[in-house]
A and B are shown apart, each in its own frame.
Chain A
Amino acid sequence: MHAFDFANPQSVPDAVGLLQKHGDRARVLAGGTDVIVQLREGRRSADLVVDIKEIPDVNVLSYSATTGAKIGAAVPCYRIYGNEEIAGAYPGIMDAASLVGGIAVQGRASLGGNLCNASPAADTIPTMIVHSAVCTVAGPSGTRQVAVEDFCTGPGRNVLESGEFLVAFDIPAPSANSGGFYLRFIPRNEMDIAVVGAGAYVVLNADKSKFESARIAVGAVAPTPLFVREAGEALAGQAVSDASIERACELARAAASPIDDMRGTADYRKHLTGVLTKRAIQGAVQRAKES
């Protein structure tokens, strides 16, 4: 690993100042489970590593039934699934947070890091998309909000400009009669990278027979985690039925543009997109019915 300096700023403005000064020669460190490997393997390089974990804003973890959750960008997975209020309100996010790496990785890895790393196969991004999570990004000209579905721009690339970093997520409180679900397919039982992942968030009507609205997102089938807006919109107003769910799955399959690689062929991934979207919607409906 090339030599670098490190800094541990104590505030958002101090971090922005350092990132602005060093530009693309600076790297942000949160849990480090991706960036340390990338620095070691020479896939990224840095003159300055900026450890943001001492900044209070990136460690926030709070929930209110009216305003929803605020999750700091550096909060590790174990704190998220260990928080009973948040685990209860967002079971779809818990599904994903408890799938990232193994237990030791979950002791460090954060939702913010998973998003900034911008892997097409990242497990937590589809689930954050379906829950309409919004990022707060700090930079030289203040803060701005970016929807999670607009954050990734390609494999390993995101919307952050020089001097900017991801501070926290805001996630709206779940609606009445709603449910979220995320699942992925992997050849092992645990500790693997998704061949395909699918997340769903559904809101049902009062007697839970119809979809009021839905959001669907899939992973590992496009250059970025993919929000399939039309699949969710196709469910809105429809009865909860095999036919309506199948229609949404067809739209998700149509939106997928996967590649062949060591984890699966494009055809296989297309097929899995339909299967997993169906299971994600069914899982979300089940949770909505139990809510």
Chain B
Amino acid sequence: MSSKVHVQARINGDDVEFLCEPRQSLLEVLRDVLGYTGTKEGCNNGNCGACSVILEGRLVNSCLVFGFEIQGKELQTIEGMGSPEELHPVQQQFLENAALQCGICTPGFIVSTKALLDKNPDPTEAEVRYWLAGNLCRCTGYDKIVRAVLDAAKAIKNS
């Protein structure tokens, strides 16, 4: 039996310490150890993007990262993006465009969109669609999501 690992990291600007088993993914650590349940488990094999987080400024699938790998690293999750009182512009535009139905994929889309707009504040529709190809939604047909992302880019630019 392996022993637990002690990990220190920064999550959404807060210093966090936890113990995890080496086999636990970052996704399991976030949800089951730390209670950050905004990050969702979809396919658990890197295809659906529901577990998207931003690690050291790069978009990654948290199901494809071990918890021990974030030692000393900076992580951003959906919990760091806005509050019910003050939504992030991406969240606001997802609401205004009705860019969600069941909602399970939404945190992943919003985190992935943030990573896109941090890098490319004025993406074309094609760039949005390619960037989000790693996030699957089985409800919306994507058009409303793409419109929400383009509107969020405009909203951020005008703010």
Q: Cα distance A191–B134 when bound, in Å?
A: 6
A105 at the B interface (CB under 8 A)? yes
A5 in contact with B59 (CB, 8 Å): no
B1 in contact with A102 (CB, 8 Å): no
Q: Which residues on the B side are within 8 Å of A1 (C-beta)?
A: 23
Contact of B22 among A3, A33, A102 (CB under 8 A): A3
Number of interface residues of A (CB under 8 A): 31
What mask results when residues 4 to 18 of chain A are scored 1 for a CB within 8 Å of chain B, else 0?
Answer: 111000000000000
Q: Cα distance A184–B66 when bound, in Å?
A: 31
Interface hits, B1-58 → A, CB 8 Å: 1-3, 5, 21-23, 25, 44-47, 49, 52, 55, 58
A68 at the B interface (CB under 8 A)? no
User: Secondary structure of the A side of the interface?
Assistant: loop
| A residues with CB within 8 A of B | 1-6, 29, 31-33, 36-37, 39-41, 49, 51, 53, 76, 78, 101-105, 107-108, 188-191
Number of interface residues of B (CB under 8 A): 34
B2 in contact with A105 (CB, 8 Å): no
A105 in contact with B61 (CB, 8 Å): yes
| B residues with CB within 8 A of A | 1-3, 5, 21-23, 25, 44-47, 49, 52, 55, 58-61, 63-66, 68-69, 112, 115-116, 129-131, 133-135
Q: Which residues on the B side are within 8 Å of A104 (C-beta)?
A: 46, 49, 52, 59-61, 64, 112, 134
B60 in contact with A3 (CB, 8 Å): no
B2 in contact with A189 (CB, 8 Å): no
Nearest residue (CB) in B for A35 is: B64
Q: Cα distance A33–B3 when bound, in Å?
A: 24
Q: Cα distance A191–B129 when bound, in Å?
A: 11
Q: Cα distance A51–B65 when bound, in Å?
A: 11
B45 in contact with A40 (CB, 8 Å): yes
Q: Which residues on the A side are within 8 Å of B22 (C-beta)?
A: 3-6, 49
Nearest residue (CB) in B for A49 is: B22
A39 in contact with B23 (CB, 8 Å): yes
Q: What distance in Å separates the Cβ of A4 from its nearest Cβ neighbour in chain B? A: 6
A3 in contact with B61 (CB, 8 Å): no
Q: Which residues on the B side are within 8 Å of A4 (C-beta)?
A: 2, 22-23
Q: Which residues on the A side are within 8 Å of B25 (C-beta)?
A: 36, 40
Q: What distance in Å separates the Cβ of A154 from its nearest Cβ neighbour in chain B? A: 23
